Amino acid sequence: MGAYILRRLLLIVPTLVGIMAINFVIIQFAPGGPVERVIAQLQGTDVSATARISGGGGDFAGSGADTAGDAASAGSRYRGAQGLDPEFIKELERQFGFDKPPLERFAGMLWDYARFDFGESYFRDISVIDLIIEKMPVSISLGLWMTFISYAISIPLGIRKAVRDGTRFDVWTSAVIVVGYAIPGFLFAVLLIVLFAGGSFLDWFPLRGLTSENWEQLSWPARIVDYFWHLALPLTAMVLSAFATVTLLTKNSFLDEIRKQYVQTARAKGLNERQVLYGHVFRNAMLIVIAGFPGAFISSFFAGSLLIETIFSLDGLGLLGFEAVINRDYAVVFATLYIFSLMGLLVNLVSDLTYTWIDPRIDFESREV
């Protein structure tokens, strides 16, 4: 097992480099960029994803206004740069690192990231790592509780559906699951707002943030209630489709195990259905479900919450990534890509190791990676 873990850890390096290289090349051909972003701010044509941009862009806006000159051809390779001082354009390029060849910029980025030096955001007066840490509590709350609730619903429901396969209970619960899975989470979120958050009917739940403004003044029991009060609608919208896959996976896994010969043997020995189900079937059937838990958590942590965060005004990692792409804040884009890719690769390894922890008969040493 040690050799397998070492091989997997070593494979993370070229995989990460490949992921970063592909995205770096795509960015080179993508229209716009941080230089164009600042120029658009100067020309008053900027349409940012958020009005919170400050720092570097603001500093350049001031110097650009002072240095705008008559050089009509200055920075002609940048849209909207006509009329700006060439020295100002060169200063912009130096600020964002575009005065260096792409290969040199990519190599420097990899060297910095290998030392976990992610630099500062282009347009915010804060380091990238601090910015990620600042947004992380929202994503942790959504990801952790969504995974816990979806598993808490899915596993018991999936087991019951397997035991009562083909009955009316199985049919109508399958219909509910399919309908729930088919409804987009963001559309259901809008419906919840209309119904329960002051849209057109009831005004029971808040629409902004994880806590109320007076949260610091509340007692601890009141803080807990307030926290879950704010999470109720976003989690409901996210869990609706999340539990469907795990429920059907649990059901099918149990059905496969129930039909095997060792189950018939256990029944022939006089064991009741509960002893057979939880004493013999459960461990084998839950192998694929439990082993996939780390991956499911990371998936819910970093993906699928962008629209939910936007609709409910939750300032988390999903919204941060979206704003970074729209605002051409490549420092944040590549840093978050690197961190999340690294965590995803490590979690895949943890998932494989979870298989061997649940079932020691699985041996990854006997096969090639």
Which residues have C-beta within 8 Å of that of residue 142, sequence separation ≥ 6? 231, 234, 235, 238, 300, 301, 305, 308, 309, 314, 316
Which residues have C-beta within 8 Å of that of residue 11, sequence separation ≥ 6? 369
What average pLDDT does range 71-85 have in this prediction? 53
Query: Residue 347 pLDDT > 70, yes or no?
Result: yes
Same domain? For 98 and 163 the reply is no
Same domain? For 168 and 218 the reply is yes
Query: Domain boundary at 86, 113, 128, which?
Result: 128
Query: Residue 365 pLDDT > 70, yes or no?
Result: no
Residue 277 within a domain = yes
Q: Which of 69-78, 137-146, 196-205 has the lowest mean pLDDT?
A: 69-78
Q: Phi-psi category of 126—alpha, beta or left, where left has phi over 0 and alpha has psi -120 to 50?
A: beta
Same domain? For 170 and 313 the reply is yes
Query: Residue 239 pLDDT > 80, yes or no?
Result: yes
Same domain? For 213 and 270 the reply is yes
Instruction: Provide the percentage of residues in the chain whose pLDDT is more than 70.
Output: 80
Structural domain count of the chain: 2
Residue 363 within a domain = no
What average pLDDT does range 221-229 have in this prediction? 89
Residue 361 within a domain = no
Question: b/e per residue, 4-39, with b = 16+ CB within 10 A?
Answer: beeebeeeeeebbeebbeebbeeeeeeeebbbbbbb
Same domain? For 65 and 90 the reply is yes
- Which CATH number goes with the domain that contains 180? 1.10.3720.10
> SS3 string of the chain?
CHHHHHHHHHHHHHHHHHHHHHHHHHHHHCCCCHHHHHHHHHHCCCCCCCCCCCCHHHHHHHHHHHHCCCCCCCCCCCCCCCCCCHHHHHHHHHHHCCCCCHHHHHHHHHHHHHCCCCCECCCCCCEHHHHHHHHHHHHHHHHHHHHHHHHHHHHHHHHHHHHCCCCHHHHHHHHHHHHHHHCCHHHHHHHHHHHHECCCCCECCCCCCCCCCCHHHCCHHHHHHHHHHHHHHHHHHHHHHHHHHHHHHHHHHHHHHHCCHHHHHHHHCCCCHHHHHHHHHHHHHCHHHHHCHHHHHHHHHHCCCHHHHHHCCCCCHHHHHHHHHHCCCHHHHHHHHHHHHHHHHHHHHHHHHHHHHHCCCCCHHHCCC
Same domain? For 157 and 177 the reply is yes
- The whole-number pLDDT of residue 107 equals 92
- The whole-number pLDDT of residue 62 equals 42
- The whole-number pLDDT of residue 67 equals 39
Query: Domain boundary at 94, 128, 162, which?
Result: 128
Residue 114 within a domain = yes
Same domain? For 123 and 135 the reply is no
Query: Domain boundary at 96, 128, 160, which?
Result: 128
Residue 163 within a domain = yes
Residue 170 within a domain = yes
Tens of pLDDT, residues 242-290: 778 788 888 888 888 888 888 888 888 888 878 888 877 887 777 777 7
Same domain? For 123 and 48 the reply is yes
Same domain? For 108 and 150 the reply is no
Same domain? For 96 and 243 the reply is no
Residue 276 within a domain = yes
Residue 87 within a domain = yes
Same domain? For 247 and 312 the reply is yes
Same domain? For 62 and 194 the reply is no
Domain limits for position 290: 129-326
